[in-house]
Every structure is written in structure tokens, then in C-alpha cells.
Amino acid sequence: MSADEQQSLAETVPDRPVGFCTGCPERPIFTAMKLVQRKLGEVHVSCDIGCHLFSILPPFNIGNTTMGYGLGWSGASAFNTEADRRTISIMGDGGFWHNGLTSGVGNAVFNKNDNILVIVDNGYSAATGGQDILSSRAFNKTRQTNNPISKAIKGLGIEWQRTVNTYDLGKMVKTLTEALTTPEKGPKVILAESECMLNRQRREKPVRNKMIKEGKRIVRSRFGVDPDTCTGDHACIRLSGCPSLTLKENPDPLREDPVAHVNNDCVGCGVCGEVTHVAVLCPSFYRADLLYNPNLWDKFLAGVRGGLIGFIQKRAEKKRATHSFGGA
């Protein structure tokens, strides 16, 4: 690569640390863990091999031990003792089918483990390229898929199990809190489900682009940050770490701290907005619906909305001018 190409790459691609992909469904799991630990205190987290291992890096810094693929719960088996706080173990769906079903779940049931396992079910063996596994929802001509993890663990004797959509951050926080505080003894499993965003985008993006090219009406959501409302606290970044959530120069000349900014990589997963809501942060995030190939009704509504907003803005400007020093 030439010096000019390197310079062009540096200007085009923003600096960012190694971590989860944009819109990754695993990110809100660890955001929820940070919020729970902020309330209940630190817990021992036993990691596993897979995309979720990125949680040991900033901004999450979650994870104490890692043994091997599918050994998340096995790695915490030594902590199956009376303690003030239960441990949390992580296991991906690929690791679960690799050997976690027996070495982790089976042994936890046999030994009456009173700790918690979070199984990250994103539909594929995502870390190694998105290969189908037993629990994949996709139809596969040469493989047997659609074998739910929930049935497998119930067959081994897991009675306490909860299924949560990973993007529902509020429910994820409540479920983790319940698992850590319930007086019910025995192994507890949380199935954290949502499709791998990388595979989802690979499937949906070409279809969407084809439909736009054909002139069909398409609505796509994405998120942004109002720079005038953002306080520059950056707690949203520390609780999310999404690559599309970055920094931008503050438009207010009286404030020095840069504001949060969502770039065009946003896939509209909504985690940043969920974080600000659940963690009670600033209300600077907004959702925008991008409309491709609008019809006549869309254009009419846009005209009405634009006229109404313009009227309100002019009235506000007039009111400010009346009460300003210049208008006094």
C-alpha cells in the first residue's frame, strides 16, 4: 500500500478499538451487566471463546477467567459454594453445541450448581464466519437445523430458564437482576437471543438496495444525536461502545467537550437509544426514518410537516427577538 493510499485510508476509516460489530446483538448483554453490577456490586464473570470475548476489552472490561470453547460454565464450577453473590458464566450457541451442553450444563445440573449461565444465541457460529449450527433458524438443505437450545437444556433438567431479546435492554437488566437475587436454588440459564447483525445485513442489504433501485418504497431507520442537547458526558459511549457512536466537535463555542455523534455506519439497531433510556442518560438521541422512493402521500405529509415546523420556528424567532436586548 502506497503512502497516498495509507493517508486516504486514515482519513476515511475512523480510529476505533477492536470490538463488537456495529449493531451486534451481544453488546447490550454486557451493557446490561454493567448496569446490574453498578446496582448490585461486582460479580465473577466466567468467559468463553467467541465474539462475546470482546467484552473483556473497553468499554465493558467484563470477564475474570476464560478456559476454552464451550467451557464458560465449567470455568466457574469451582465457585459453586455458598457466597454473597452468584457468578455469571457466558457461553455462545456454537460453544454450547461444541461441548457446553455436557461439560457445562450437564455438570451444573448434576452438581446442583446455584450460579447463572447466559447463552448467547445469535443463530450461527458467528465468530468463525456464520456457519449454521443445530439451533440455527435458517433452512439448510444438507443439515438439520431448528433444534432449540431451550429444549436441550430442559431435557437435562434446567427448570429456571428465561428467554430475552438481547436488544430489549430493560428486560435484560431485569432478568439478570432476578437471576442474581432470586431465593430459588439450582442452576439458572438466560437465553439471550437475537440474530448476528453481520449475517443479517449480508442477507437484507442486497435485497433492500435492489428494491430501492427498482423504485419501490422503502423505510429504513437510523439513529442520531442532537449536538445542541448532548452534554458531552459520553456515558452513552462508555455503556455501548458501538463503532458508529463516535465524537464530534462541539457546535457550542462556549463548551469545550466534544459531543457524541452517530456516523453513517448506523444500522438502526436502537441500542444507543435503549441505553440512554434504561440508564437514564441525556435525551439527545433521536430516531430518523429514511424514506426511499416516496409516494404522493409521503410528499404531501412532508410538505405539511415542513410548513408547520417552519411556522413554529418563525414564531419562536420572533418571540426571542422581542425579548432580546436588541428588541428591548
Kindly state whether residues 160 and 240 are assigned to the same domain: no
Round to whole Å and give the CA distance between 25 and 32: 12
Domain assignment present for 167: yes
The per-residue pLDDT for 139 is: 85
* Number of domains composing the chain: 2
Task: Determine the pLDDT at residue 230.
Answer: 87
Residues 253 and 319 sit within 8 Å (Cβ to Cβ) = no
Tell whether 41 and 189 lie within a shared domain.
Answer: yes
Query: Which of the listed residues 162, 197, 232 is the one where a domain comes to its end?
Result: 197
Q: Is 90 helix (H, G, I), strand (E, B) or coil?
A: strand
pLDDT at 326: 56
C-alpha to C-alpha distance for 147 and 144, rounded to whole angstroms: 8
Which of 148, 163, 197 represents a domain boundary (last residue)? 197
| pLDDT for residue 285 | 87
236 close to 224: Cβ distance less than 8 angstroms: no
53 is a domain residue:
yes
Q: Which residue has the cell 404531501?
A: 300
Tell me which residue range forms the domain holding 225.
Answer: 217-317
Report CA 180 to chain centroid distance, whole Å.
Answer: 21
Give the pTM: 0.86
Give the three-class secondary structure for 92: strand
DSSP bridge partners of 47: 66
Claim to verify: residue 170 and residue 72 sit in the same structural domain: yes
Last residue of a domain, one of 197, 225, 259: 197
In a shared domain, residues 166 and 277: no
Kindly state whether residue 238 falls inside one of the protein's structural domains: yes
Torsion of CA 138, 139, 143, 148, to 10 degrees: 50
Cα(213)–Cα(201) distance, integer angstroms: 17
Distance CA 26, CA 52 (A): 7
Q: Is residue 124 part of a domain?
A: yes
276 and 309 in a single domain? The answer is yes
Residue 1 in domain? no
CATH code: domain of residue 241: 3.30.70
Q: What is the pLDDT of residue 60?
A: 92
**Residue in 40, 111, 32, 49 with CA at minimum distance from that of residue 79:** 111
Q: What is the pLDDT along the chain (328 residues), one digit of tens a residue?
A: 788 888 887 777 766 677 898 999 999 999 999 999 999 999 999 999 999 999 999 889 999 989 889 999 999 988 888 888 999 999 999 999 999 999 999 999 999 999 999 999 998 888 888 889 999 988 888 888 999 999 999 999 999 999 999 999 999 999 999 999 999 999 999 999 999 998 899 999 999 999 999 999 999 988 899 988 888 888 888 888 888 888 889 888 888 889 989 988 889 888 888 887 887 777 888 888 899 999 999 999 999 999 999 999 898 888 877 776 655 5
Domain containing residue 75: CATH number: 3.40.50.970
Are 45 and 77 in a shared domain?
yes
- Residue 88, pLDDT score: 97
